[in-house]
Amino acid sequence: MQTTTGTAPGLHAAGLQDSPSAATPLSAGSTAAEGFAVPGFDAVVRLASHSLGVPLVSLVLSSGETYWYTSGGTTPIHSPQALHPFYNEAARHQAGQLILDTRLDERFGDTDLGFAATPEPIRFFASEPVFTLTGQHIGALCAMDIHPRANLSESERSALRDAAALAGAGVVLRSYLGRTDPVTQLPHRNAFFEDMRAHMRDVPHAWVIAIDVAPVQRFNAFIRAMGHTYADELIRLVAQRTQSWMSTDVHLYQVGVTRFAALLPDRNMLIDPARLDALVALLRRPFDCLGIPLTIQPGVGLLKIQASELRGGDPLRLVMSASYAAQSSARGWAVYDHAQDEQQRQEFFLVTELAAALADHTELDLHYQPRVDLDSGRCVGVEALARWKHPTLGPIPPTQFIGLAERAGLMHSLTQWVLDRSLAQLAVWRNQGHQIHLSINVSNTDLSTGLVDRLRQAAERHSVDLATLELEFTESTLMEHSITTRRYLSAIRRLGTGIAIDDFGTGYSNLAALRQMPATSLKIDQSFVRGMTTSRHDEAIVRSVAELARSMDFRVVVEGVETEHIYDSVLGMACDEAQGFHVAYPMPADEVSVWLDAYRGMRSRQAP
């Protein structure tokens, strides 16, 4: 067999006449796969060649590997770049191609659809896509002739299709044997572990590097939008770019659908931050994915492994915790940190527990905190606050589980539950004669057109007047994506429901910008209010913010009124309502009616 290396000119017609022999795979840069031909490839291409009566058949994989079969036998090509771009095109498209005469096809013009191997230019070309057994597209099987043809019969076409299916099975089988991923042709996770153990027999320690292409949710959304062809191509491109950053003695492994790993050589065990910054910068540059420019959100993790600690450990899990954390960091790379890993484990545990709690609702509850009107001293409303009591961990504060629910995509069902539970409760109180309003906290992940419908439907279900409700949004939620947000808020206002700007003062937005929002009230954050006792500065802030907000027609609510002293101070300010421990602590629903019945009113401006 003539094994060609370098550019193709060495592989001339003589190469086509070689006797049959096993082909060698050609994944550029990958050494782990070497020594494995595509099993059954000879038989498959002979079948295609005979059925179609063509002298030349090739299997072109999207990874760049190419196998050729001529009437003489199979021949590998070591330089995929030497191929006419049309072969790569065929390998990347999921549909078959048929060109009866390449001379008549404008894509070829005068260029030969051949490479130096053919004695004459190729005139006839037919291809069928090749898929793995699970449907991933991995290349094309091409049948060619130096003579043009008048047609390709249906039975010839279906023979080519059958041969392509068999070639796909062969590539998958080769992947198992050769420990490679069928899409990227990189060695896969088992190979990584085997090679790592072998490597660590000779060195005391090494660095493992992991590269995450994008957060799983984002990648899945990308697949839903673009399909697997683009996703596979993107992964291949990321692998190529990562390999271009690595020295040639380092092997890249595909250890997950969107994750690569490598063992870095044990030089002096120092990390070079500039090199890692360069890798992140390289991966953050847009990719041209089949003509579509795409950017990814890479995360690069690093872990130092000790040969002595390897037994039973899972270095990939640990380094993934670093690459996961790095994805949302500005720098884009991070070294494994044990405390961070513990936090992620705990978070994961809590997310699954929260999902279960949301399914049966037995551990979740709502507490309500009264709001009083400073003019009349009367209770005018309550704010619903979520509570979660875990059976073994005890009460988990909302400051912890709300953020968790947002990150884990559970906020939709949590808010739905809060809406239903609190509106049902409000209906009970109002039927008892308590003319109070209800405030509900919503997070920015709730802000979508769906929220308006959900609110209207919940009010209908529980026969609650939408004008007795108020939704509280934090300042940062309101200022993010302000144009779409304003549209949603206007729709909520049209229902008659109030909108409060929560925790005002914790963000950096100014009041003038917030006034663009159709909000009805503004809640001054408790951090300033609580500080009023000790800081004249804080008192001045609360006083002037209240005045300014009132002049802009907001109803001003002060939160965190913990003491009588603070309560008396805000009575003298441009504030409309007070909320805080001095008035009442948040309490379970059944205590609220008792409290309301016993409540005789706070000191008010109208009081004698």
Q: Give the binding site for ligand C2E (CB under 6 A).
A: 369, 385-386, 397-399, 402, 418, 441-443, 472, 502-503, 526, 560-562, 579-581, 586
Q: Using DSSP, state whether 58 is helix, strand or coil.
A: strand
54 versus 541: smaller Cβ distance to ligand C2E = 541
Smallest gap, in angstroms, from Cβ of residue 581 to ligand C2E?
Answer: 4
Select the span of 96-104, 176-184, 436-444, 491-499 touching Ca ion (CB under 5 A). Answer: 436-444
Q: Can residue 502 be called a binding residue for Ca ion (CB under 5 A)?
A: yes
Beta strands in 100-167 (DSSP E): 124-131, 137-145
126 versus 418: smaller Cβ distance to ligand C2E = 418
Pick what 180 binds: Ca ion, ligand C2E, none; C-beta below 5 to 8 Å, kind-dependent: none
Smallest gap, in angstroms, from Cβ of residue 528 to ligand C2E?
Answer: 12
Convert residues 462-481 into a mask of x (bound to Ca ion by CB under 5 A) and - (unbound).
----------x---------
Q: Using DSSP, state whether 498 is helix, strand or coil.
A: strand
Pick what 369 binds: ligand C2E, Ca ion, none; C-beta below 5 to 8 Å, kind-dependent: ligand C2E
Pick what 398 binds: Ca ion, ligand C2E, none; C-beta below 5 to 8 Å, kind-dependent: ligand C2E
171 versus 442: smaller Cβ distance to ligand C2E = 442
Select the span of 177-185, 414-422, 496-504, 594-602 touching Ca ion (CB under 5 A). Answer: 496-504
Continuous segment of H or E residues that includes residue 303: strand 299-306
Separation between Cα atoms, residue 139 and residue 164, nearest integer Å: 9
475 versus 502: smaller Cβ distance to ligand C2E = 502
330, with CB counted inside 10 A (0-12, 13-18, 19+), is exposed
Q: CA triplet 402, 408, 409: central angle to 5 degrees?
A: 90
DSSP percent split of the chain into helix, strand, coil, nearest 5: 45, 20, 35
Smallest gap, in angstroms, from Cβ of residue 577 to ligand C2E?
Answer: 13
* Residues that contact Ca ion, how many (by CB under 5 A): 3
Separation between Cα atoms, residue 38 and residue 24, nearest integer Å: 8
160 versus 385: smaller Cβ distance to ligand C2E = 385
Q: Rg for the chain (alpha carbons), in Å? A: 34
324 versus 554: smaller Cβ distance to Ca ion = 554
Smallest gap, in angstroms, from Cβ of residue 328 to ligand C2E?
Answer: 21
373 versus 502: smaller Cβ distance to Ca ion = 502
Smallest gap, in angstroms, from Cβ of residue 377 to ligand C2E?
Answer: 18
Smallest gap, in angstroms, from Cβ of residue 327 to ligand C2E?
Answer: 24
Q: Can residue 577 be called a binding residue for Ca ion (CB under 5 A)?
A: no
199 versus 462: smaller Cβ distance to ligand C2E = 462
Pick what 65 binds: Ca ion, ligand C2E, none; C-beta below 5 to 8 Å, kind-dependent: none
Q: Can residue 58 be called a binding residue for Ca ion (CB under 5 A)?
A: no
Q: Could you please report the per-residue DSSP string of 307-356?
A: GGG-TT--HHHHHHHHHHHHHTSSS-EEE--HHHHHHHHHHHHHHHHHHH
The residue number whose beta carbon is nearest to ligand C2E equals: 580
Pick what 503 binds: Ca ion, ligand C2E, none; C-beta below 5 to 8 Å, kind-dependent: ligand C2E
CB 461 within 8 A of CB 429: no
Pick what 507 binds: Ca ion, ligand C2E, none; C-beta below 5 to 8 Å, kind-dependent: none
Smallest gap, in angstroms, from Cβ of residue 383 to Ca ion?
Answer: 6
209 versus 442: smaller Cβ distance to ligand C2E = 442
CB 470 within 8 A of CB 439: yes
What string of H, E and C letters represents the secondary structure of 6-44? Answer: CCHHHCCHHHHCCCCCCCCCCCCCCCCCCCCCCCCHHHH
Smallest gap, in angstroms, from Cβ of residue 562 to ligand C2E?
Answer: 4
Q: Can residue 323 be called a binding residue for Ca ion (CB under 5 A)?
A: no
Nearest to residue 469, comparing CAs of 450, 487, 444, 451? 451
Q: Can residue 327 be called a binding residue for Ca ion (CB under 5 A)?
A: no
Smallest gap, in angstroms, from Cβ of residue 391 to ligand C2E?
Answer: 20
Nearest to residue 276, comparing CAs of 334, 340, 320, 212? 334
Smallest gap, in angstroms, from Cβ of residue 451 to ligand C2E?
Answer: 12
Burial readout 516-535 (b: 16 or more C-beta within 10 A, e: otherwise): ebebbbbbbbbebbbbbeee
Smallest gap, in angstroms, from Cβ of residue 524 to ligand C2E?
Answer: 11
Burial readout 89-118 (b: 16 or more C-beta within 10 A, e: otherwise): ebbbbeebbebeebeeeeebeeeebbbbbb
Q: Using DSSP, state whether 224 is helix, strand or coil.
A: helix
- Residue 293, both tokens: 């420019």
49 versus 526: smaller Cβ distance to Ca ion = 526
Smallest gap, in angstroms, from Cβ of residue 586 to ligand C2E?
Answer: 5
123 versus 555: smaller Cβ distance to ligand C2E = 555
210 versus 522: smaller Cβ distance to ligand C2E = 522
Separation between Cα atoms, residue 60 and residue 67, nearest integer Å: 7
Beta strands in 402-497 (DSSP E): 437-441, 469-474
Continuous segment of H or E residues that includes residue 82: none
CB 300 within 8 A of CB 335: no
- Residue 484, both tokens: 């779409």
- Residue 9, both tokens: 């000119």
CB 213 within 8 A of CB 326: no
Smallest gap, in angstroms, from Cβ of residue 308 to Ca ion?
Answer: 52
502 versus 576: smaller Cβ distance to ligand C2E = 502
Separation between Cα atoms, residue 588 and residue 597, nearest integer Å: 15
Pick what 26 binds: Ca ion, ligand C2E, none; C-beta below 5 to 8 Å, kind-dependent: none
Q: Which of 30, 441, 477, 569 binds Ca ion (CB under 5 A)?
A: 441
- Residue 418, both tokens: 């809060």
Q: Can residue 212 be called a binding residue for Ca ion (CB under 5 A)?
A: no
Site residues (CB under 5 A) for Ca ion, limited to 84-113: none
Q: Which residues bind Ca ion (CB under 5 A)?
A: 441, 472, 502
